């Protein structure tokens, strides 16, 4: 009789998993979906393109460092060839294309805006390179992070981006990774304060340069999403060539005339710097289209890691395991940042009406 009652109770009890089993299943499902999002092609593509930008930035740092070792100190003149190449390639394309806004239309409507953007871009490059002359590498690494909050604030105000907690968390993790890189520099003796001739001036120049970088990147994202990257690069190329050319004639005329252009090594390094910078400028709008200006700024935090790998051979840098650990933390932060997208916003344009994601392409 007791056995019959027990079987009856079992048959009447609902056939559903317990609360603990349901919770475990939900947690496993969430972990699986998060891992799937991180490993998706959209996220991996953004990570790959971002690291490619970081490698190109590393190329400009290495070539510029070797030039400084050889006594070539012409930061403004080094960038002139880049703006000239942008003008030749993209301004010419802008003038001949049939679709989108033409060169004449851009000059008629946005000429003064592109002059301001070009000034910001040229002076940002100049101030950041100039800062290395007065302060330490570690100070520059710490202070150029100001471009990240600058981009976040301007993206919220100008682009009306709404960042989620996950995006803030990813950015914080990336900055922690950068802190590891800076600590590794200190432990290996890369930060030599005795070489800083005027640390206060160098730090101020770095802060100003990083702020201008952030303004330039957000301006680039606005133009690229509203119109296209050919217009942005073409207009920055033409106005940047004039502004940069005038500046280096005024400030670096004597330094340029003293450079030994008969040296094959110096010419090759100058060309390498210009090519890396040109490819960097050409690729960055593509990455911004796939992600955002903030994602690009987070990606290039790893440039110091790549610079170390080359610096071991060219500058006799010391290796430390923290470099690899910090690089992994930065990549982890980028993955966290890219799991979810920010709020979408529709940008109306006569030439390219699109609904743009102002961040990672992975759907939430």
The tens digit of pLDDT for each residue in 310-340 reads: 877 776 777 788 888 999 999 999 888 887 7
The conformation of residue 87, written as its DSSP 8-state character, comes to I
Is 75 inside any structural domain?
A: yes
Q: What angle do CA 320, 63, 327 make, to 5 degrees?
A: 30
Q: Which residue has the higher pLDDT, 216 or 305?
A: 216
At 343 the pLDDT is 62
Residue-number span of the structural domain to which 320 is assigned: 42-357
Question: Does residue 350 surpass a pLDDT of 90?
Answer: no
What is the model's pLDDT at position 190?
65
In angstroms, how far is CA 363 from the centroid of its own chain? 22
Predicted confidence (pLDDT) at residue 267 exceeds the cutoff of 60: yes
* Cα→Cα distances 83→91, 125, 227, 341, Å: 10, 12, 20, 33
Q: Which residues pair with 355 in a beta bridge?
A: 346
Residue 90: per-residue pLDDT: 96
Q: Give me the mean pLDDT over the 83-92 stretch.
A: 95
- How many angstroms separate the CA atoms of 280 and 82, rounded? 10
H or E element in which residue 157 lies? helix 147-157
Beta bridge partners of 345: 356
Answer yes or no: is 65 within a domain.
yes
Q: Which of the four pLDDT bands, split at 50, 70 and 90, describes residue 224? A: very high
Q: Which pLDDT score, from 0 to 100, does residue 21 have?
A: 55
Highest mean pLDDT among 184-198, 287-301, 341-355: 287-301
- For the ranges 60-74, 111-125, 199-213, the maximum mean pLDDT occurs at 111-125
DSSP letters, 295-352, are HHHHHGGGHHHHHHHHHHHHT-PPP-HHHHHHHHHHHHHHHHHHSS---EEEE--SS-
Give the span between the Cα atoms of 252 and 84, in whole angstroms: 17
Q: Which of 235, 237, 216 is nearest to 227 (CA)?
A: 235
Give the total number of structural domains in the chain: 1
Tell me if 197 is assigned to some domain. Answer: yes
Whether 260 is covered by a domain: the verdict is yes
pLDDT value of residue 42:
72
Q: How far apart are CA 296 and CA 232, in angstroms?
A: 17
pLDDT of residue 35: 57
Average pLDDT value over all residues in the chain: 81
Flag the least confident range among 103-117, 162-176, 195-209, 252-266: 195-209
Counting beta carbons within 10 angstroms of the beta carbon of residue 237, is it exposed (0 to 12), middle (13 to 18) or buried (19 or more)? buried
Residue 208 has pLDDT above 90, yes or no: yes
pTM: predicted TM-score of the whole model, two decimal places = 0.80
Rounded Cα gap, residues 25 and 283, in angstroms: 42
pLDDT at 339: 79
The residue-averaged pLDDT of 188-210 equals 76
**Does residue 15 lie within any of the structural domains?**
no
Greater model confidence, 154 or 307: 154
Nearest to 128 by CA among 26, 223, 60, 220: 60
In the chain, count H helices and then E strands: 16, 2
Tens digit of pLDDT for each residue in 127-178?
987 887 787 666 777 788 889 999 999 999 988 888 888 889 999 999 999 8
């Amino acid at each position: 009789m007791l056995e019959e009652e027990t079987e009856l109770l079992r048959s009447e009890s609902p056939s559903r998993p317990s609360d603990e089993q349901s919770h475990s299943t939900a947690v496993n499902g969430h972990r699986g979906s998060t891992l799937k999002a991180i490993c998706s092609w959209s996220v991996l593509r953004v990570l790959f393109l971002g690291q490619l930008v970081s490698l190109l930035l590393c190329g400009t740092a290495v070539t510029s460092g070797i030039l400084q070792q050889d006594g070539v100190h012409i930061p403004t003149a080094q960038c002139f060839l880049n703006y000239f190449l942008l003008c030749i390639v993209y301004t010419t394309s802008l003038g001949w294309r049939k679709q989108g806004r033409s060169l004449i239309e851009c000059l008629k409507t946005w000429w003064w805006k592109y002059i301001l953007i070009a000034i910001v871009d040229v002076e940002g490059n100049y101030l950041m390179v100039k800062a290395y002359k007065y302060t330490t590498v570690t100070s520059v690494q710490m202070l150029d992070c100001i471009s990240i909050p600058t981009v976040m604030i301007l993206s919220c105000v100008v682009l009306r981006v709404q960042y989620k907690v996950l995006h803030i968390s990813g950015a914080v993790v990336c900055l922690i990774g950068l802190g590891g890189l800076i600590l590794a520099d200190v432990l290996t003796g890369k930060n030599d304060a005795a070489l800083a001739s005027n640390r206060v001036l160098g730090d101020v120049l770095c802060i100003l340069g990083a702020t201008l970088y952030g303004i330039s990147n957000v301006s680039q994202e606005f133009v690229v999403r509203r119109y296209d990257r050919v217009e942005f690069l073409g207009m920055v190329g033409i106005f940047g060539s004039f502004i940069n050319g005038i500046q280096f004639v005024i400030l670096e005329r004597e330094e340029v005339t003293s450079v030994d252009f008969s040296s094959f090594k110096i010419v090759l390094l100058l060309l390498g710097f210009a090519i890396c910078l040109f490819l960097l400028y050409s690729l960055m709008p593509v990455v911004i289209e796939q992600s955002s200006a903030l994602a690009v700024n987070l990606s290039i935090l790893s440039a110091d890691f790549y610079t170390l790998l080359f610096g071991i051979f060219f500058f006799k840098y010391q290796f430390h395991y923290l470099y690899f650990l910090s690089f992994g933390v930065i990549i982890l932060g980028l993955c966290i940042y890219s799991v979810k997208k920010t709020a979408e916003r529709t940008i109306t344009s006569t030439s390219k009406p699109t609904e743009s994601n102002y961040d990672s392409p992975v759907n939430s």
